[in-house]
Structure 1
Amino acid sequence: MNKVLLVFASMSGNTEGIAHLVAEGIKQAGKEVDIKEIFDATAKDLLEYDGIILGAYTWGDGELPDDFLDFYDDMDATNLTGKKAAVFGSGDHAYLHFCAAVDILENKLQECGAELVQEGLKIEMSPTSAEEEQCKDFGRKFAAQLLSIG
């Protein structure tokens, strides 16, 4: 059975809530998922999983949060070839670059050789009831992508 690692950074709890909804979807699809907050994870942890999901809020006017920076930099030395990946995040449309952290993390995963298997999920602040189902579906769809590798 393929395992998924979901690593997230959350300041207000919005991204953490999304992370747990995505994980619920993965479990509903019959896959195992380990959830780690960014401070409890290292880039080397990514090597132990077939599926990788990263989640972050966007800080300021389109930046990764500071708590994600060391992990992000450490990814440079991590070869993720053969890994399937996806990214989600929370943001605020009041800023010029909505959920830019999602785009930044997608680019980094691709630079490290991972295959992005679905479009990033971007949620305004905290998910509405309808978006909660969208988050679970994001997890289910990701889990379905792992079927092709076992």
Structure 2
Amino acid sequence: MNAKVIYATITGNNEKLADLIIERLSRNHIATVKEEISLSDPETLLNFDLIILVPYTYDLGALPDEGLDFYDDLATLDLTGIKYAVAGSGDDFYGSDFCKAVDIFDLAFQATNATKATANLKINLWPEATDLPLIDQFVADILK
């Protein structure tokens, strides 16, 4: 199995979350490519068995500006047979907009016919030690 982990970050929180996910995939001998979302060509997703997206949510529930092209291009793909998962760090200060980009990207992946590997993971701010069991479970569920 090979995986691609794509992230978008302003504060570094989501890149850290992506790194923690990659670390756990590596422990399970999953070859993983890490890529910042503005540098990621959605067409390359067809070359992977697993895609994990780690976006941030901007302002009042908006997608990251640097991920808008990626989001639009997802709509043109058929990812049948490819597993995906979405995780993200956000600020629960924003209430109902907390990690909203995670859910929006989840819907976009569903529309590609990709197979959802696990429930969305949402972390408040910087991933702390208390979040590690959630990240462990997220990856364990993906690998089932």
TM-score calculated relative to the size of structure 1: 0.90
Alpha-carbon distance between aligned partners in 1 of 2:34 and 2:139, rounded to the nearest angstrom: 13
State the match for 1:99 in structure 2: 99
Counterpart contact for 1:28–1:140, Cα < 8 Å: no
What are the within-5 Å matches in structure 2 for residues 133-144 of structure 1? Answer: 133-142=133-142, 144=143
Q: CA deviation at 1:139?
A: 2.6
State the match for 2:13 in structure 1: 14
- Which 4+ runs in 1 deviate beyond 6 A? none
Write the letter of the residue equivalent to 2:87: F
Call closer, same or farther: CA 1:108–1:81 in 2, change over 3 Å: same
What are the within-5 Å matches in structure 2 for residues 88-127 of structure 1? Answer: 88-96=87-95, 97-127=97-127
In the TM superposition, what whole-angstrom CA distance separates every residue of 1:44-66 from its partner, at most 9, and x where no partner exists? Answer: 01110010101101111111111
Alpha-carbon distance between aligned partners in 2 of 1:88 and 1:21, rounded to the nearest angstrom: 11
Structure 1 residues without counterparts, runs of 5 or longer: 146-150
Q: What is the count of residue pairs matched by the alignment?
A: 143
What are the within-5 Å matches in structure 2 for residues 1-150 of structure 1? Answer: 2-96=1-95, 97-142=97-142, 144-145=143-144
Alpha-carbon distance between aligned partners in 2 of 1:112 and 1:14, rounded to the nearest angstrom: 27
Structure 2 residues without counterparts, runs of 5 or longer: none
Counterpart contact for 1:80–1:113, Cα < 8 Å: yes
Counterpart contact for 2:117–2:141, Cα < 8 Å: no
Relative contact order: is structure 1 or structure 2 higher (C-alpha 8 Å, sep ≥ 6)?
1
Alpha-carbon distance between aligned partners in 2 of 1:69 and 1:53, rounded to the nearest angstrom: 17
Write the letter of the residue equivalent to 1:33: T
Q: CA deviation at 1:127?
A: 1.0
Write the letter of the residue equivalent to 1:101: A
Structure 2 residue matching 1:73: 3-state secondary structure: helix
Alpha-carbon distance between aligned partners in 1 of 2:110 and 2:42, rounded to the nearest angstrom: 14
Call closer, same or farther: CA 1:23–1:136 in 2, change over 3 Å: farther
Alpha-carbon distance between aligned partners in 2 of 1:26 and 1:36, rounded to the nearest angstrom: 15
In the TM superposition, what whole-angstrom CA distance separates every residue of 1:113-133 from its partner, at most 9, and x where no partner exists? Answer: 111110011000101112134
The CA RMSD measured in Å over matched residues stands at 1.2
